[in-house]
Every structure is written in structure tokens, then in C-alpha cells.
Structure 1
């Protein structure tokens, strides 16, 4: 039975190195067709990729806003080099745009101005959330590995602070970032001379164990889950736990159709089981997982 729920459906930043034309087409469809409330833009994984698309951000943001979407810019998740520190400083000075921080170095630059906290900032407890809120944080996207018990406590704290609380509900889970680029290394290249080999894997490069079993996925410096998070049937429980925003992570599948299924469940227009069956028709044999939410190993489907 379909039940109407409240919730803001969001689309996270594209984590993968897609060609600029593919990104432009993708965001044009999102602007015109997707039942999305908020769209995050920005290069989160590798600063070397940023020049390929940054000149398009203004036009993409305007197109999305004309389509009724709220636009939020997301920062890098790893800041190591001097040019990356300068990029973060410039990012925090963006005028007229809401921003999401994914690295603590940005807290030095934001200087108490309103901002969002991204999922790579690792907010695991109420004290951390309160501390960040005092520094201007108005919204928190929780780490993907947060179980329900912890999410409910954090959602209660966020409510007391007048902040939104978000959780990823679809797509590969980001598990770690590294100073080294495994993607380049796997192709016998260095990080400085990677030749952007990550572009060959639009949803990440899948890894296998020594005995040939699917294991993880790699996206440049980022380690991702092999399975895709899918919380469609868990949406009522997420809502009851206090989650207010539900993030879809972009992949090469039909994200407009996927967003429509999540929106239909949230709006009570479609039962979760029926939506799950339709999602499977879109995604094919991609393995789904929801173990993190249930306090189980993340790769499991409960």
C-alpha cells in the first residue's frame, strides 16, 4: 500500500569523469524532466578533472534553476596541493550560491557563513553536528555507513538545530579516498601522468578478488562499493527516523526514471515493492545493498 511521505529528493554531484558533452546532456534532462528538488554541482573527487567542466557551471546552474531545481555547489573531498587549497578558498567565496563542504580545510575559509556539510565530512555524533552548526552549518548529509540507530539520533539533533539531514539512497557508496590514484596505477600510470584513464569507466572500475569474485569499484582516488545502495523499500523507515532529504548519486542508468520512482514512493503514488520491481527493469543485474542502514555489513541486501 502506498503511503504519502514528506521528503526532499536530491541529486548528488557526478563523482565520475564523464565527458563535458555527456554532463551537459545529463543536466539538461535533469532540468527539464526529473522530479528532483535539489541538484549538487561540482568536482568532488579529483581537482585535475575540474577544468573540463567548470566553464559550464553557470549555464548549467541557470538551466537547473529555470527547471525549478535548487542548486548547491559541492567542494573537493581531498585537499593536498597548494592549488587545491587556493581552489577551496575561491570556492568558499562563491557569491550568491549555496555550498556544500566535503573537506575540513574549508572550515578555515568559510568563516561562519551558512553552508552545508557533505557526506565525506564524517559527522558521526551529536557533538560534532552541534559544533559545525555553531560555525554556520545549516544542513548535514550523513556518511553512507550510518545505521538507523545513529541516524535517528543525529536527525533529532539536526531538528533541534533547525538543520536539514540527508542520506544517500541510491548509487555506489563512497567508502574512502586516498592520496594515490589507484585508477592510474592499475593502468601502469602515475597520478601526475594519468592521462585521465578514469574516463574509460563511467560508473567506476570494478575490482575482483584473487578468486574472481566482484569486490569493490575504483574511481580515481576514490574507493566505492561494488553494489549500489538502494533504499527504496526502506524509505518509510528513513522518514520515520527523521531523514528529511534523500540523495541519488548519478550513474549511467536512466536517472530521470530512477528519480521518478523514488519521487512516486515518497509522494505515495506507488508502493515501494512495485517501485523496486520497476527499478530492477532499469538497472538490470546491478546488485543492490542496504546493509548499512540495518546495522549489517554494507554489502548485504536485508
Structure 2
């Protein structure tokens, strides 16, 4: 079982973003790292000067680097930028928007968790177009994951295993609207919430989290206790999504549990200390996504559904 570090979904300060990846390169036991702005193209210019150094540092440390595409392309400049990214054969592209498939022209690529692959035939279609690794959508139950992964043994399958779960993307910017700003003049207010902004119900219960144009779960997905089930289902990599916590320590913790160096219970306790947000794994067991299911199959707790 390998570990993949997904792209940073939030609007972090450019130097913080760069230094985060430098530390990942030097210290984190991850095998693959996805780099690039995938949520909002307006953030991309702030990162561009740092991307070459980040990619070089990661590759030099032996990490496989994937360049992530935008999740939603709606402007000519975005299509142009993704076309240029697809044309660069120095690194494999992770496709998050189907428009990129035509740009790739059949070259080998990865599929990100934002593409709706819900059955074997859809996965086979993407494999026929050049996808050799697929991160399945986080809402899939274990039974579907097993059916899809077992149907294509030559494709590497990955599952979203840590972090606030990406649920939806929109052309409208929630952060801008909340601050009574136009999307085109948002003043990048999303950087005020580098881990997402919690959304509550009318009863003041935490429900979701917003990140600019993106909707995330309030809870943090944790499949730390489900590693053996995922292995048995044919999953070859677990994806960790960067949050505002010590992600090197999170990666080391997952590695230790995978390798059997510490027990799941100890790992879960340490994970709660590293990132105290409520954990969830309900989707994996065909339950509400915000539920947390114990190894015995019992619902340990359900927080407001995400």
C-alpha cells in the first residue's frame, strides 16, 4: 500500500505553500505528490514562480510528481493554461476535468477524485483513453471500490483517505459572496480560512466547509482503520489531502499503521491529537458520509451529515 499526497485545496500564502512541499520532499514517506492549483485559477499566478523549484525538490527526493488540472474550466484562459499543462510531457497530468482528455491525445495520465467514476465500464473507458492510475470519488462504498478495482488489475487505484472531503465545485465563489464582493474582485478573502470555513445550520451545528468555489465536508475523512479492507479490495494507494496540521507526521502515522509498526487504535488516537477535527468514514460503509464506523461495523458517532 502506497501513500499519495493530494494537491493543496486551500489558498495558502505562496511561501507557505512552497515550504510545505519542500518539507514533504525532505521528510514525508509518501510515494506520489500531486502539485498545482486545482480549485481556483485566480490563485495560480501566486504559485507559478515556486512550482519549478517545488517539482525539482520533490522529484529529487524520489517522489513521483503529478501535475493536477483544474476541477472546473470555464474561461478561455483556463483552457489555454490546461492545454499548456497537458502538452508538457515532463510529468504526468492528473485529470480533474474531462475537457483535458482531448488535450492529452491519448497519452498516459492519472484521474483525480473529482471525476465521477462509479462503475467498471466507466473506469474501463478512462483506462482505454490512457489512464493508468485512478483516484476514485470519495463517496463510493467499499463494494463499488472492490468491483471497479478488481475489474482492471493493470490500473492503480487510489482512495481518498484523509482530509476534508471534496463534495462539489461551483462557478460561484462562496467566500466572495459572504464578504459582499464580486467574484472578479474577490480580494482573495479565502486566504483568511486556510483550512476552509465551517458552515453551520440554523441550529448552529457544523455542517459543511467552504473554500472559495468549493464545498467540502465539515468532518475529516479518516480511513486509517480500514487499510486491510482497502488492500483486499484492490486499492494500491491511500490519498492524504493537505490540511492545516503537521502533514509529515500524518503521513508517517499512516505509514506506520500500514507497515504494522503500531496498532490502528494507537494510530487513531495520535491522528486525533495531530488534527482534532471529528473524523468520518461513512461513505465507505454506505452510511451518511459524516458517520464514523468502527471495525465491528457499528456507528460510533454521527455528526451532522456532510
Task: State TM-score, norm by structure 2.
Answer: 0.94
CA distance in 2, matches of 1:90, 1:77: 16
Q: How does 1:176-195 map to 2 (within 5 A)?
A: 176-195=168-187
Question: Secondary structure at 1:301's aligned position in 2?
Answer: strand
Q: How does 1:23-42 map to 2 (within 5 A)?
A: 23-42=17-36
CA distance in 1, matches of 2:37, 2:273: 30
Q: How does 1:149-298 map to 2 (within 5 A)?
A: 149-159=143-153, 162-284=154-276, 286-298=277-289
Higher RCO structure, 1 or 2 (CA under 8 Å, sep 6+): 1
CA offset at residue 158 of structure 1?
2.5
Give structure 2 stretches of 5+ with no counterpart: 294-306
Q: Deviations over 1:163-212 (max 9, x none)?
A: 10001100000000011011110111111010000000011111111111
Give structure 1 stretches of 5+ with no counterpart: 1-6
- In structure 1, the residue matched to 2:299 is none
CA distance in 2, matches of 1:94, 1:291: 38
Q: How many residue pairs end up in the alignment?
A: 293
Q: How does 1:92-103 map to 2 (within 5 A)?
A: 92-103=86-97
CA distance in 2, matches of 1:38, 1:170: 15
1:48 maps onto 2:22 in alignment: no
Question: Secondary structure at 1:40's aligned position in 2?
Answer: strand
CA offset at residue 154 of structure 1?
0.8
Question: Secondary structure at 1:55's aligned position in 2?
Answer: coil
Match of 2:290 among 276, 289, 299: 299
1:148 maps onto 2:148 in alignment: no
CA distance in 2, matches of 1:54, 1:125: 36
Question: Secondary structure at 1:235's aligned position in 2?
Answer: helix
CA offset at residue 282 of structure 1?
1.2
CA offset at residue 55 of structure 1?
1.9
- In structure 2, the residue matched to 1:59 is 53
Question: Secondary structure at 1:215's aligned position in 2?
Answer: strand
- In structure 1, the residue matched to 2:304 is none
After TM superposition, where is structure 1 displaced by more than 2 Å over at least 4 residues in a row? Answer: none
1:91 maps onto 2:82 in alignment: no
Q: Which moved more, 1:268-277 or 1:245-254?
A: 268-277
Question: Secondary structure at 2:106's aligned position in 1?
Answer: coil
RMSD: 0.8
Task: State TM-score, norm by structure 1.
Answer: 0.96
Question: Secondary structure at 1:26's aligned position in 2?
Answer: helix
- In structure 1, the residue matched to 2:303 is none
- In structure 1, the residue matched to 2:68 is 74
